[in-house]
Amino acid sequence: AGSGALGLEARSRGAADVILVDRAPAVARVITQNIARVALPGVRCERADVRTFLRGPARPQDVVFIDPPYEVPAREVEEILGLLGDGWLTDGAVVVVERGDAGIQWPAGYTDEWERRFGGTHVLRAVWYRPD
């Protein structure tokens, strides 16, 4: 979740529910401090491994940003995408992934919309529809 700035900006622009997940204690502290500074309701930080968090009770979301450290293998990102598909996404949800490389396979249910490259950063976007 980094600094939480993207999630805080989304909330300031009308997102109803923002959940920022990061397992690093120092990062979670920074995010929590930033949430307190802007004092927006509906934003929370969870200090947890995202895969562990996603195995908990699902809260369907309309938009999800995934921005793991660039060294995280593609298979782990694909696992996260699979877990999101287990109740965390509304039909038509937009999922954006930021990576150092573009090498991921979208699991069933995701429709790849586009990919952009910004220097050494790849941003991929897909839409989720529950598979029949």
Where do the domains of the chain lie, and which CATH numbers do they carry? 1-48 (no CATH), 59-132 (3.40.50.150)
**What does the alpha-carbon distance between residue 132 and residue 121 come to, in Å, rounded to a whole number?**
33
What are the 10-residue block averages of pLDDT along the chain, 132 residues in total? Answer: 83 90 93 92 94 96 90 94 96 94 90 93 94 82
What pLDDT is recorded for position 103?
81
> Would you state the structure tokens that stand for residue 48, as one six-digit string?
């947890």
The answer to whether the CB of 123 falls within 8 A of the CB of 112 is: no
Q: What amino acid occupies position 4?
A: G
What pLDDT is recorded for position 1?
57
